[in-house]
Amino acid sequence: MKAIYKVTDIVRLGVFSLLVHKVRSMLTALGIIFGVWSVIAMLAISQGASYESQISLRRLGSDNIIIGSVKPPEDAMAAESGALHYGLTHQDVARMRDNIPGVLRAVVIHSTPKLAYAGGANQHQVTVLATEPGFAGVARARMKEGRFINSLDMLRRASVCVVTDSLADKVFGHGSPMGKTVRLSGMAFVVIGVLDRLPGKLTGGPADAGDYVLIPHTTEQMRFGDMTVVQSQGSEVFERVEVSTAILQMVDEQAVVNGAAIARGMLERSRRQVDYQITVPLEEIEQRKRQMEIWSYVLMAIALVSLVVGGIGIMNIMLAGVTERTREIGIRRALGAKRRDIVVQFLVEAMTLTTAGGLAGILVGLVVPWAVENTLKFKTIVTTQTLVLPFVVAVAVGLISGLYPAMRAARLDPIHALRHE
């Protein structure tokens, strides 16, 4: 019974002493709060960034091999009947589709810049993508309204088009564009569907350009042929590109890795010049993942260093506190406190301080990423681990740094502690 009174009294004494030494207590708690929240925020932001970049790459499709036509340097180009001819051909794509194992489907895109007109005063610069029904699947395109181009459209060479959401807004204003007419080089196309934005890399267009009109490939060949007119320095230049982008969708990731190597070899042999570029999102995803891993180790190291530095600060304050109170320890010892009574008193102080500071640090550590996400629109991810780890480290550092000087002070003979000034 007496022992219980004594324990509760010593715990109360520990908490009470913190109130007596307010400034020092505040400083120590502040050190812990800063250590904990900065580590939590740092981890949350770095994990958010890593997640974001992987998501954007994943949208390209980790099961795709993307081969784009690229214009080679002017002088290396062979002029053919007054037009520049370069890039992938349908024959190239067919050979790859038939000879590379594990191809689920091959989709071709022919992309041309054009002016679109839908009534009103303005024309709009757009990218026309002539493609086939499989495109929606490999591009992971989501329909906002209507439907995508189907095989019947292809067969009939129908004058229909699918537009991206952002273009629909610009060209048709509010209201639904479904069933309305868009004129491309004077020819009318009826809108049958609206798509979300498409990743630029996939479409062979400028990165993240949002203004696309998608039409059946067969319709384009009938209406426009595969000649592209490019305005360069005042004079008109004709370019002939059969396939702007080919997308090979593979059965699995192993097929992606093997297929990419085979495709490289095939094109190296068949093309006279390097007028193509192979993009493998999977490889980029893996590479980005490795980079992010290295980054997160670096951030981890910084976080640990700042915790250690914070810990040394805490230890310093604790040491100074105990040293300053050596005489008090001497008085208590002279009046009958045992060594463990002293250690328990200081341990309770350290524990109360570090736990309170750690909890406050977690609170701030939750608020800061939330604020960052809402003001800077920066994705952050807070997990239980990133909350608990800094807390545990800070509390452990606080306890050790409180325990060490307390044990040192308790070890002193009462007479030495009393003589301390």
Residues that bind other proteins (CB under 8 A): 2-3, 5-6, 9, 13, 16-17, 20-21, 327-328, 330-339, 341, 413-415, 418
Ordered DSSP codes for 152-177: HHHHHT--EEEEEHHHHHHHH-SS--
- CA 43 to centroid of chain Cα atoms: 13
Cβ at position 333, least distance to other proteins in Å: 7
Instruction: Supply 79's token pair.
Output: 């002029």
Would you say 246 and 107 are in contact if contact means Cβ atoms under 8 Å apart?
yes
Cβ at position 350, least distance to other proteins in Å: 17
State the number of CA atoms in the 13 A half-sphere of 146 facing the CB. 23
Cβ at position 380, least distance to other proteins in Å: 43
Torsion of CA 171, 173, 178, 181, to 10 degrees: -40
Cβ at position 4, least distance to other proteins in Å: 8
Close Cβ partners of 388 (under 8 Å, ≥ 6 residues apart): none
Cβ at position 309, least distance to other proteins in Å: 30
Cβ at position 323, least distance to other proteins in Å: 16
**Which residue's CB is nearer to other proteins, number 110 or number 332?**
332
Rounded Cα distance, 156 and 168, in Å: 25
Buried residues in 237-274 as b, exposed as e (16+ CB within 10 A): eebbbbbbbbbbbbeeeebbeebbebbeeebeeebeee
